Amino acid sequence: MRLFWHRRDLRVADNRGLAAAAEATADGDAVVPVFVFDDDVLDHAASPRVRFMLDALAELRDDYRERGSDLVVARGDPAEVLPTLAADHDAEAVVWNEDYSGLARERDARVRMALDDAGVARETHHDAVHHEPGTITTNDGDPYSVFTYFGRKWHDREKTDPFDVPAGDDLVDADAVADDPLPDIADLSFSEPEADVQAAGTEAARDRLADFCEDAVYRYDDDRDYPAREATSRLSTDLKWGTIGVREVYAATEEAMRDAEAMADDDGVAAEEHDAVASVEEFRSQLAWREFYTQVLWANPEVVTENYKEYEHPIDWRESEEAMADLQAWKDGETGYPIVDAGMRQLREEAYMHNRVRMIVASFLTKDLLLDWRHGYEHFKRHLADHDTANDNGGWQWAASTGTDAQPYFRIFNPMTQGERYDPDAEYISEYVPELSGVSADNVHSWHELSVGRRRQLAPDYPDPIVEHSEMRERALSMYKRARGED
């Protein structure tokens, strides 16, 4: 017998570790799938993610039951639970897929020791990424600190095909395992999320992938920055929880690429110049960004709390009472900057935010409000269903100019021009900021320039801008210059 320990890979299809465990089972032997509710992990969770995880687990269990097997669920410290379960099932080994964050690696080291002490073998696999951390490096063997070269190598490396679902015969019989019920969200000390969290599970993830590949993937390059166009895959939560495998997603892009090339040929345009081809490439680049940040976190686990980029002096973030009131206005989507407020409200409503808007709100927090990126990271961590330590931290530090951005600190987004450019008709803004739904796009995008009287007339309940962008921009530049020792 072999235990397969599910963690961030809540699926039976295209699961490298599970497929390997099944393949290694001798005749008459089987894999016992296990999930452990770990209180240390739950300490870092938030209700939207717990909801998604429980729904994904319910589907995973159904998938096993359809194959005549069942998912064993347990609660406690995996370093104690797994050796006990291994003994209960007479398992000679525990198999799992690697998780690259610092906390997970610490836990896994403890689990390895406990299994060694119990005389149980363990085997791990790389599943969550195409190219595991440490394999795409500079010529000197160092991890990349900027994306461009990493991305090029990532694209050039061969990708593995999806792994097969284990056959029913390779899985433990349902009768041989306890069918303890999955806990309710309240049993895990969380309340139901206020946000409308997207449907969880492999079937829902596959539907999203299929929908995306039907059309949006071919115009991704043009449309992905426009939040109202809904032109992105919405797969981030699935990739975070592993309800779909990265190989399966990549295989779909290969099919899309063949179609895109055919379209290019039909139009008589050189394939590489065609938008559809460029779009599929661009989508793959986002998958590469995900793996880039995974390796940044793996090589620098301290970035969860520390700046990735070193400055000569500490950055002088605002911390006053007034600054905390601004932080609250940002969290509540009440800054008086329409695109920022729309994003912050989308986050609360859907446990998700569009990527362009994530960049805008993050730039606003750090460079218009001069607030430490850690405040933003913590808020995202509390509200995002797709919160992923590597991507969230990477995104925040990039926006705050403390991370891997090749551009220096003077990349400061102007929230009005960003809104005007990426939501020209203010459609996205009207959806999430109903106070502005009757206001013309021109007035929405020049909200900061209107007189107070005009604003009251147009949208009496929508706030005035809490700061003046041009003034804060200058303050931000001085703040970063001081930190660089240039003042």
Using CB under 6 A, list all residues that contact ligand FAD: 224, 232-236, 239-240, 286-287, 289-290, 293, 355, 358-359, 362, 380, 384, 386-388, 391-392, 394-396, 399
Q: Which is nearer to ligand FAD, 169 or 203 (by Cβ)?
A: 203
Contacts of 101 (CB under 8 A, 6+ apart): 297, 298, 301, 304, 389, 390
CB of 410 to ligand FAD, least distance (A): 18
Q: Which is nearer to ligand FAD, 29 or 223 (by Cβ)?
A: 223
* 189 annotated binding-site participant: no
Q: Which is nearer to ligand FAD, 55 or 238 (by Cβ)?
A: 238
* 220 annotated binding-site participant: yes
* 287 annotated binding-site participant: yes
Token pair belonging to 222: 């043009």
Q: Which is nearer to ligand FAD, 33 or 301 (by Cβ)?
A: 301
What DSSP designation does 435 have? Answer: G
* 63 annotated binding-site participant: no
Q: Which is nearer to ligand FAD, 413 or 447 (by Cβ)?
A: 413
CB of 318 to ligand FAD, least distance (A): 19
Contacts of 254 (CB under 8 A, 6+ apart): none
Q: How many CB atoms lie within 10 A of CB 181?
A: 8
Taking every pair of Cα atoms in the chain, the longest distance, rounded to a whole number of angstroms, is 80
Distance CA 202, CA 238 (A): 8
Q: Which is nearer to ligand FAD, 396 or 480 (by Cβ)?
A: 396
Distance CA 323, CA 14 (A): 47
Token pair belonging to 195: 């946000």
Residue 382 near residue 348, CB atoms below 8 Å: no
* 451 annotated binding-site participant: no
Residue 128 near residue 249, CB atoms below 8 Å: no
* 283 annotated binding-site participant: yes
Distances from the Cα of 306 to the Cα of 64, 295, 349, angstroms? 41, 16, 30
Q: Which is nearer to ligand FAD, 69 or 335 (by Cβ)?
A: 335
Distance CA 91, CA 72 (A): 14
* 234 annotated binding-site participant: yes
Q: Which residue is nearest to ligand FAD (CB)?
A: 395
* 292 annotated binding-site participant: yes
* 290 annotated binding-site participant: yes
CB of 174 to ligand FAD, least distance (A): 34
CB of 26 to ligand FAD, least distance (A): 37
CB of 105 to ligand FAD, least distance (A): 19
CB of 392 to ligand FAD, least distance (A): 3
Q: Kindly give the residue spans of alpha helices, DSSP state H, lying in 400-468.
A: 415-422, 427-432, 441-445, 452-458
CB of 90 to ligand FAD, least distance (A): 39
Q: Which is nearer to ligand FAD, 124 or 355 (by Cβ)?
A: 355
Angle 338-350/321-332 helices, nearest 10 degrees? 70
What dihedral angle (degrees, nearest 10) is formed by the CA atoms of 285, 290, 296, 299?
Answer: -120
CB of 52 to ligand FAD, least distance (A): 12
* 286 annotated binding-site participant: yes
Residues in the annotated binding site for FAD: 220, 232-236, 283, 286-293, 386-388
Residues in the annotated binding site: 220, 232-236, 283, 286-293, 386-388
